[in-house]
């Protein structure tokens, strides 16, 4: 039997979001290596250059009232890159935490890290923990860094947490629905994902926010990450703002009547 209200987890309101803009934006920051190679430099030069783009998207998000910004910094598959590149990326993550956290805190940004942080060394784990605790009360923007993150890991991790409760007898299997599983997904305390941007020209998700992408609007640009500016970000937001989000309904059901 079909029930009138489906069992799906809460979704944002259908229609044109132009009045409020996206509340939660995620970015696959891709193209650093190619950017560097085009300049005759080694790939890691591109990763270093990409840090400036991170600063500018954080500024843009803060100034335009985006509530949450999730950035894909390192995927669970990126460990398979050459050792030298992986170690530069880890070093860079360390350096950025050292140099940026105070400024983020001063600007009211709350920093969070999602992903399997257990794989990082103790020093890095401690630094992440410290930054998260220091900025915990801030509410100008939630900056969510996905590090050693995989969308499949996120779902499997939620399933494992629920299975533990079933084993302890505190949860019944029949009480596991989309809503319940969603409570254990790493972004459960953030608004629903509205807009996913990928730079660097590829049109794929690369195991990023698989669960959260269910009804996200996707925006792909050929701009390589170190060249990404506030202007390009604005183009993506403008494009989002004219889309009609239907969430399975028909256009007439969601269009706002003209007064
Ligand atoms: C994205 O840039 C950054 C990370 C994956 C850490 P890439 O390093 O993937 O750059 P391209 O795609 O090879 O140009
Ligand atoms: C996705 O980019 C991961 C990050 C941006 C951190 P990749 O460059 O790793 O993705 P693929 O390999 O092209 O799918
Ligand atoms: Mg890439």
Q: What is the pLDDT of residues 157-196, one digit of tens each?
A: 999 999 999 999 999 999 999 999 999 999 999 999 999 9
Active site residue 30: yes
Q: Is 78 a catalytic residue?
A: yes
Which ligand is nearest to the Cα of residue 76, counting in written order? 2
Backbone phi and psi for residue 163, each to the nearest 5 degrees, phi listed first = -60, -35
> Which residues contact ligand 1 via a Cβ below 6 A?
29-34, 74, 78, 89, 200, 225
C-alpha of residue 246 to centroid of ligand 1, in Å:
33
Q: H/E/C letters for each residue in 112-168?
A: EEECCHHHCCHHHHHHHHHHHHHCCCCCCEEEEEEEEECHHHHHHHHHHHHHHHHHH
pLDDT above 50 (res 228): yes
Distance (angstroms) between ligand 2 centre and the Cα of 213 equals 16
Per-residue confidence (pLDDT) for residue 4, from 0 to 100: 45
> Which class in CATH covers the domain with range 22-152+191-243?
alpha beta
For the chain, give every domain's residue range.
22-152+191-243
Give the C-alpha separation, 182 to 209, whole Å.
Answer: 12
Q: Residue 14's pLDDT is what?
A: 72
Give the position, in ligand 2's atom list, of the atom nearest the Cα of 77.
9
Q: Residue 7: which pLDDT band, with cuts at 50, 70 and 90?
A: very low
pLDDT of residue 130: 97
Model confidence at 138, in pLDDT bands (50, 70, 90)? very high
What are the pLDDT digits (tens) for 28-84? Answer: 999 999 999 999 999 999 999 999 999 999 999 999 999 999 999 999 999 999 999
Nearest Cα residue to atom 1 of ligand 2: 206
Q: How much is the pTM?
A: 0.94
> Rounded to 5 degrees, what are φ and ψ at 100?
-105, -25
Give the Cα separation of 25 and 27 in Å (integer): 7
Catalytic-labelled residue, pool 78, 94, 138, 207: 78
| Angle at which helices 230-241 and 43-64 cross, to 10° | 50
Q: What angle do CA 39, 40, 44 make, to 5 degrees?
A: 85
The CA distances from residue 11 to 156, 191, 213, 238, in Å, are 22, 10, 11, 21
- The answer to whether the Cα torsion of 105, 188, 61, 18 is positive or negative is negative
Residue whose CA is at the smallest distance from ligand 2 atom 12: 206
CA 47 / ligand 1 centre spacing (Å): 8
CA distance 181 to 211: 10
């Amino acid at each position: 039997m079909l029930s009138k209200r489906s069992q799906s987890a809460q979704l944002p309101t259908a229609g044109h979001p132009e009045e409020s803009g996206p509340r939660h934006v995620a970015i696959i920051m891709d193209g650093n290596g190619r950017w560097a190679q085009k300049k005759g430099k080694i790939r890691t030069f591109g990763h270093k250059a990409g840090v400036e783009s991170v600063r500018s998207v954080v500024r843009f998000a803060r100034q335009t009232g985006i509530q949450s910004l999730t950035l894909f910094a390192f995927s669970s598959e990126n460990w398979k890159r050459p050792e030298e590149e992986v170690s530069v990326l880890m070093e860079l993550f360390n350096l950025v935490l050292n140099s940026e956290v105070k400024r983020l805190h001063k600007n009211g940004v709350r920093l969070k890290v999602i992903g399997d942080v257990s794989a990082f060394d103790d020093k890095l784990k401690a630094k992440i923990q410290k930054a998260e605790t220091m900025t915990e009360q801030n509410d100008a923007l939630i900056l969510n860094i996905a590090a050693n993150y995989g969308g499949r890991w996120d779902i499997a991790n939620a399933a494992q947490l629920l299975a533990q409760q079933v084993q302890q007898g505190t949860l019944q299997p029949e009480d596991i629905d989309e809503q319940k599983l969603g409570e254990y997904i790493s972004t459960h305390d953030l608004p629903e994902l509205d807009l996913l941007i990928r730079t660097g020209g590829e049109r794929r998700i690369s195991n990023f926010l698989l669960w959260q992408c269910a009804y996200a609007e996707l925006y792909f640009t050929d701009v390589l990450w170190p060249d990404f500016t506030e202007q390009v970000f604005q183009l993506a937001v403008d494009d989002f703002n004219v889309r009609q989000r239907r969430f399975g309904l028909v256009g007439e059901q969601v269009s706002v009547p003209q007064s």
